[in-house]
Amino acid sequence: MRCLHKQVTRSPLLGSASSRRMEIMRIVSEAQELDQAAVDRSATVMDSNPPFFPTYKSLFSSRGSMNDEAELLAVECDLPLVDLGRLNGKLEAKQCKQDIITAATEWGFFQIVNHGVSNSLLARLRRQQVKMFRQPFKKKALDFSDDSYRWGTPTATSLKQLSWSEAYHIPLSSANKLARTSTSRCVIEEFSAAMAQLANQLVDTLAEGLGRDGTYIKENCTRNSCYLRLNHYPPCPLPGEVFGLVPHTDSDFLTILCQDTVCGLQLKKAGRWVTVKPNPNALIVNIGDLFQAWSNGLYKSVEHRVMSNPHLERFSVAYFVCPSIETLIHSSALPAIYRKFSFGEYRQQVQQDVRLTGHKVGLTRFLA
């Protein structure tokens, strides 16, 4: 902010009253400009956020806290940390793979460093992401040619079913349709390619831990079925009443998450919610429902959520390893916990449950 005060040297030849009057008028004018600039900045931020209150007015009229379910004072934890650089050494590679398998079995979540995705690429993606969410709300749906921009929870019938967030859901097959800028398109393309390579490396290791080959997953989880999700969680004035993202598990094989330094992500561990401590140097990996079924329950798809924040906004990017809808999911282990099902069947059941009950039921619908 520029300083409004300035030392004035008066000339004895000039009328003092006239000089003072001109100086006061200048200061008042400059102050008004600064005030208007502040108002404009505030309006820009307000115009960019979705209209949660007007849209979900009926839900807010019957407000109620999340009670014990929220556990706002959840214990903070460090996820298992795996250095993928160890995969390059013959002596350390075996232990590194075992660390990944153990984390997927015991936690369902883990962090990775030396993952091969450059910090400069992550920084460029974050800058483009912020620009996309900073534009006026009415323009966001124009960034893609389809319905990629989403916000809130259209099916919510209570506050605990509402997610105070907005996102761009970007199928990789349509990433080149990004309309806003060529810069955004290029960064998203580059990031997607890096994520695909990293995901294949993780899939191979996790499949090896089951005594299986990762080729089936990689052949069915291609650019035509995987997608990115750019997330933005605006400050929420009702943090104890509304989630940033409601509790859920991921309906995919694997998710790779890049988040900022604002706390919010929580997962369930031993029946309790714990807060994931942000690590700016790591990416987060979590097992999805399909990998849990494919591993016959060995790898865990863990329930997680994002808590809202009254003061700070939060950004994250998730890469989802999803198959084509006709891909069959089944375990080679016997006895099988889950029956054989297609991804299309699973997704349809999840959507039906959310529509009818307000929440996802998931794999329990597919027990053998």
Active-site residue list: 314
Strand pairing partners for 266?
275, 305
Integer angstrom CA distances of residue 72 from 223, 234, 262, 273, 353: 38, 18, 15, 9, 27
Give residue 270's region: left, alpha or beta (phi > 0; psi -120 to 50).
left
Q: What is the 3-state secondary structure (H, E, C) of the chain?
A: CCCCCCCCCCCCCCCHHHHHHHHHHHHHHHHHHHHHHHHHHHHHHHHHCCCHHHHCHHHHCCCCCCHHHCCCCCEEECCCEEEHHHHHCHHHHHHHHHHHHHHHHHCCEEEEECCCCCHHHHHHHHHHHHHHHHCCHHHHCCCCCCCCEEECCCCCCCHHHCECCEEEEEEHHHHHHCCCCHHHHHHHHHHHHHHHHHHHHHHHHHHHCCCCCCHHHHHHCCCCCCEEEEEEECCCCCCCCCEEEEEECCCCCEEEEEECCCCCEEEEECCEEEEECCCCCCEEEEECHHHHHHCCCCCCCCCEEEECCCCCCEEEEEEEECCCCCCEECCCCCCCCECCEEHHHHHHHHHHHHHHHCCCCHHHHHEC
Contact 258, 286 (CB under 8 A): no
